[in-house]
Homo-oligomer: A and B are copies of this chain.
Amino acid sequence: MTNTVETEERIFDAALVVFASKGRDGARMQEIADQAGINKAMLHYYFRSKDRLYEAVFGYVMKRFMQAFAQETRGATTFAEFLRGFIDSYIDALHANPDVFRLMVNENLSGGQALGTHIGRFKQAQEGAPQLFVRKIEAAVERGDIRAVDPWHTILTVISSCIFFFVSRPTVELIHPDAQDWDAFVKARKQHIFDLIYHGLQPAGPHDTPS
């Protein structure tokens, strides 16, 4: 009886990494075992089958993904504060666990069968769900703090801007001049996203929107 929790965690972490990069089908049990530094039979001892292991990992990923939404959302007084807080904490979450979000994307790419089950829960649970963000925007629009925009599309744009450069990191590093120092790049990106979107939401200034 050396250890049970640690081993399970090692498997879990390794599985997350491998599933995130290779996807559900592409991942090999042997690779996960190697990554975890344990025997392949252990995977089945702790998680029964590849499917169950994936289910376990994906459930965790889904939770994390939705948690990232709720973070740092309270305590902001102005909409600007809220937006900055959201972008900051969201990108921090991505930066800290890139595999979580890569797995999420991978699942979407391969059809997202696993999404259905897990997503229902979060649609009910009003807290932390995108609904909160929507309400913040709607409130800000009513107060006249920002322009009248479609809140869903706005959220989608914010999320896209925050996630996609993590997803396409290899390409970004090849093309973008400053992306060699990734940490610095991430920091700069936070600032840019907030800046661009915040301006984009401001009530119309002297310049009119061309149709």
> Which residues in A have some Cβ–Cβ distance to B below 8 Å?
20-26, 28, 78, 80, 102, 104-112, 115-116, 119, 123, 130, 147, 149-150, 152-154, 156-157, 159-161, 163-165, 167-172, 174-178, 188-189, 192-193, 195-207, 209-210
Contacts and interface: CB of A to CB of B under 8 A. Distances in A.
Nearest to A102: B109
Q: Which of A105, A109, A112, A161 has the most CB of B within 10 A?
A: A109
Contacts of A23: 22-23, 25-26, 106, 109-110
B209 A206 contact: no
29 contacts: A21-B109, A22-B110, A23-B26, A105-B168, A107-B170, A108-B167, A112-B171, A115-B171, A130-B175, A152-B178, A153-B188, A153-B189, A153-B193, A156-B161, A156-B176, A156-B189, A157-B192, A160-B163, A160-B164, A160-B165, A164-B167, A195-B209, A196-B201, A198-B210, A199-B200, A200-B200, A200-B201, A202-B205, A204-B205
A158 to B, nearest CB: 9
Contact of A206 (B102, B150, B171, B206): B206
A26 B107 CA distance: 12
Count copies of this chain in the complex.
2
Contacts of A168: 105, 108
A115 B108 CA distance: 22
A23 B149 CA distance: 36
A67 to B, nearest CB: 16
A58 to B, nearest CB: 13
A161 B196 CA distance: 13
A115 B171 CA distance: 7
A193 to B, nearest CB: 7
Contacts of A156: 161, 164-165, 172, 176, 189
